Amino acid sequence: MLHTAQGLRALDLGFQWRQGRLLAIYGPSGAGKTTLLRILAGLTAADSGFIEVEGETWLDSDRRINLPTRRRSIGFVFQDFALFPNLTVRQQLEFALPDPKNKAIVTELLSLMELEEFHNLRPALLSGGQQQRVALARAIARRPRLLLLDEPLSALDDEMRNKLQDYILTAHRHYQLTTFLVSHHLPEVLRLADEAIVLENGKITAQGDPADLFAGRTITITITKNT
Amino acid sequence: MIDWQPLWLSFRLAGITTLLLFFIAVPLSYWLAYSRQRWKVAVQAIVSLPMVLPPTVLGFYLLLAFSPSHAFGRFLDHYLDTRLVFTFPGLVVASLIYSLPFMTGPIIAGFSSLSPNLRAASRTLGKSDRTTLIRILLPNIRPSLITGAVLCFAHTIGEFGVVMMIGGSIPGQTRVASVAIYDEVQSINYSLANHYAIALLAFSFAILLLVYLVNHHFNHASTLP
């Protein structure tokens, strides 16, 4: 059940996706987008369900399987980035490594995300855009099967948003990731996603190519003016 | 001439209590801060009891419990050859209970002040709860840990009622500074009582000053590399 401004609602859905694609989960606030992402990550418990990723069962309520978050191969970028205040940029990435000795990917990510000059700074000294890049790099550092992005650009202005969309696309393609992007920003979905699902009131109301999916949507503006 | 032994005993008692309590309070506070079990409120109330309970009440029940004429004290006496009434180890055990909320309070507040996403982020990076606690949570609540340790130390130094009840005033064993002040006043030896009192007053002030300085430092330095 979802706690929304309109009260309790059920999140009830099923879908499949292809490896290496960027899937957008689009919908209004309270539709259950973040909850869906958190269930995939194992951070929120589903009442019942089934999740299988590349042949590995993460959740199967019938067989009482529920893989804990730390054993799911995921990278998660939170809305507030959730950077560790006590660690420098480089340390954040190193912390994420499954094998602390293999630091080659840290150097590569710092370069790819253009973070080299900030590598020794703590998050509090970084701008919103820089923090977002660190959060993205940290989520990728462990080479996850699924990259989950929870409205990662919502806290940024439009100019920064456009720039950071490039970083997301670069990372997604460079590391051939399967990426889930939660967004309520249509241009972002159209620009980034290979495929999209539309979530409304906890249910999938449409799924497919974003360009086809949203082509029929019109913009209605109602203006009233007292003269 | 001032006898330094009561002051030394007070510091030894406070030091041992603080060290032991640190290792007890961190896991306990972690559980109290993050557990969703309903009965944790009952544990929270029990842990906080010494804050509101008159020390003599706590001391009275500990005296009964530690006494060899009662079950627990008899068990310690017979099977472990240990006596906690009127001994220094008894004072340490009593202080652990008495000062517990002064250590757990700031640490729980520290954990609660952190964004829940920090723990979640560490889990998504494949880290265990233990690694998350040691590498992420504890370093980010350093001011709370220092505040808890310092308050616990200072509170144990100032302990009187519990010490009187279960320790009495045995020189070199249980006669801590606060008890020494009481003894000297009883003997109308105000000058010596004043020496002990000034030493405790100066120490208490210094300790609080240290807490505020450390917190001030962390608040301003947390952004620096």
B70-111 confidence digits (pLDDT tens) = 888 888 888 887 888 889 999 999 999 999 999 999 999 999
In a domain, A179, yes or no: yes
In a domain, A164, yes or no: yes
In a domain, A223, yes or no: no
In a domain, A220, yes or no: no
In a domain, A221, yes or no: no
B221 and chain A: CB distance < 8 Å anywhere? no
Cβ pair A82:B139 closer than 8 A: no
Separation between Cα atoms, residue A191 and residue A153, nearest integer Å = 13
In a domain, A227, yes or no: no
* Tokens 């952004």 sit on residue: B223
User: What total of structural domains would you count in chain A?
Assistant: 1
A101 and chain B: CB distance < 8 Å anywhere? no
Query: What is the domain range of residue A198?
Result: 2-215
Q: Is A192 exposed, middle or buried (0-12, 13-18, 19+ CB in 10 A)?
A: buried
pLDDT at position A97, please? 95
Higher pLDDT, B87 or A31: B87
Q: Which residue of B has its CA nearest to A94?
A: B125
Count of CB pairs separated by less than 8 Å, A with B: 72
User: What is the share, in percent, of chain B residues with pLDDT greater than 70?
Assistant: 96
CATH assignment of the domain containing A178: 3.40.50.300
In a domain, A187, yes or no: yes
Give the CA diameter of chain B.
Answer: 66
CATH fold group of domain B5-218: MetI-like fold (1.10.3720)
> Which of B125, B132, B133, B224 should one mutate to test binding to chain A, selecting the residue with the greatest count of A CBs within 10 A?
B125
pLDDT band per the 50, 70, 90 thresholds, residue B171: confident
In a domain, A226, yes or no: no
What pTM was estimated for this model as a whole?
Answer: 0.85
Give per-residue pLDDT as tens, B36-63. 898 999 999 999 999 999 999 999 999 9
Question: Nearest C-alpha of chain B: how many angstroms from A123?
Answer: 8
pLDDT band per the 50, 70, 90 thresholds, residue A9: low
Cβ pair A120:B225 closer than 8 A: yes
Angle between helices B190-221 and B142-157 (to 10 degrees): 180
Is pLDDT above 80 for A37?
yes
pLDDT at position A223, please? 57
Residues in chain A within 8 Å Cβ distance of B117: 78, 80, 82
Separation between Cα atoms, residue A107 and residue A116, nearest integer Å = 8
Cβ pair B121:A82 closer than 8 A: yes
Cβ pair B120:A85 closer than 8 A: no
Q: Which residue of A has its CA nearest to B126?
A: A70
Write down the mean pLDDT value for chain A.
85
